[in-house]
Structure 1
């Protein structure tokens, strides 16, 4: 009986010991593999920092199907193309010395003509030695000039929803927002810019101060858009076709007087609109200058761009180029004064 018990106990110990050993081996192997992978990642990270990248072939680079840049003088298209190219540099671990050669291989049309002329200007040797950062400086100066960026800033400030869907108007705003870092420095300012851009049917159901991020107010606007569509389907709301307007006529003094004569409300000094009672924008800070007492449209710090010479500070009507032309066209002699017909003598 003792021999049988001893034999069974021995078998049990042997079986459990075998499984225990296998488990230990599996655990040790997984720890070793994880440690090796960490070491490889650290080595690659150090190589990246020191500029030593494993590189990639032209075939591997072209397999990423990068977009072509044709030389449009459009900051949004230009900088988006740069971002796409730099993303491929990172994903393929392209060698630093190959950045310019591979990147400029995607230039076509006027962009290629510009680069060909630049290479002739600096010489072939200097072009091959040029780093990506040094390439981007003249590239952005030519294809993303400050004058055009100033126009984008002006359009960003004046952007209003006029019939566009929420996704479309949000996309337009986000494209322009990347060029307005000095105008919009906080998440709160982004929220107020977005809120002021929306049409009345959205704003009347939203309070910008209750949102903490831009994503939150965008999602609320999307939910409101869905509800508006349901109201139209149920026949509770009519479809209003609004054609996007590129110009906004300012209210003249005469039009304000006519409104007052008809019994309308006077123009508010804070928001510029006619309403009764205290203005709801009175204590809200302006997203541009941070001060209270006015809205974005009436902000004294608002960016103004001349659409003649594309320079800030003055408007087209005040442009020195136009003023100079007007002065040359005018006659140097004084315009003769009109004679008083009543003083003429009647013939005798």
Structure 2
């Protein structure tokens, strides 16, 4: 091999390959360093990806819920003055049922009857149960007395 050929490959063949040995040593050291660092890198990448996925999923769920609420519920502007339905029409602040509330609607909750038992536990229980029926059926306040008295029987009715 001539001197020009030796210099073309970048190695100094005259020194017995020391640059080549140094390169091999450097490659070995680099390989060991990467081998030691790899588990740490994988762990960090995994943590970063998990956090990114969680954040993305949470954002997607939040957006989907927000869109669904916006679609189903009337909108209130910042001042709280206008209620707008999904068609863009103005609606009243008070939610008005589509049909009048009736005794039949109330009885769908299977309200208990009260016979006038003087036991305070029995009467308190009836009051709690009937109030639960009022809440469940969304009975208007002005009809609660009327519908409650319809559930009285016997001595309690007099």
Q: Which of structures 1 and 2 has the bigger CA Rg?
A: 2
Which structure ranks higher in relative contact order (CA pairs < 8 Å, sequence separation ≥ 6)? 2
Q: Does TM-score exceed 0.5, indicating one fold?
A: no
TM-score (norm 1): 0.20
Q: Structure 2 length normalisation: TM-score? A: 0.42
Structure with the bigger percentage of helix: 2
